[in-house]
Structure 1
Amino acid sequence: MGRFGKVGAGNHPAGRRGGAGGFSVWTLLVIVVFVVGVALPTLRAIPSLVEYFSVKRAAGYAKQRAANKREVVEFFEKQAAIDRITAVKGEDLLIREDDNGTIQSVDFSYRTEVPVYGPLSLLITYSGTQH
């Protein structure tokens, strides 16, 4: 035996197998599947999510400012033009009034299709109520 002992023995640095070493093919495959399966659809859905919050904010704004159904539609349309909302129109809103004509709530519901990859897309249904 030489100065280093047997080649490949546990006491030689070249013969040790530890946790360090890099990515395996399976680790790389899991990362790719995660990115394609979770991160990509999430990133593609962000613009529709931003639009949903704009619709929700515009419906709340219209409910606070309006005195009747016609004004709710007008205020919503004005805010929709500012926020570039295309998914919902003022006439699509469900506006509920009490017996005195006071606006109780403004409801909306719509679907949007988010293309993910090729023929694959997500169909997302958004809905909300502003009391």
Structure 2
Amino acid sequence: MKIIRKFVIQGIYNSEVHPDSFSSLQAISSCRLPHPYLIIIHRSASIQTDTVIFHNVTIGVIENNTLITAAQLGEKVYIGTGATILGHLTIGNNAKIGANALIIKKNIPPAATIVGLYK
């Protein structure tokens, strides 16, 4: 599986989606990547079921000495093209994150729609 991930996903799509970032096998099978190019998801992120992630999305960490964890995504989260989500935060169920949104260390309530800078 590591060989497939390294050569197929990273080589062809230029993406890094770590399998540990999914909460279950159902989350892996229900996650939709309509355009799977340039997607970076940190290992410590947690993705639930029925998530849609478009291309050029980054879910990463803000490193400090105490806590290095990425976002915790709820169920049925939609993340638009070019969105960047940084830091330890929670994205509620049914939330929608618009294209090119920047979210830094601020929780998103369930069923919210976020566009632009949210910190």
TM-score band w.r.t. shorter chain? under 0.3
What is the TM-score normalised by the length of structure 1? Answer: 0.21
Which structure shows the bigger proportion of residues in helix conformation? 1
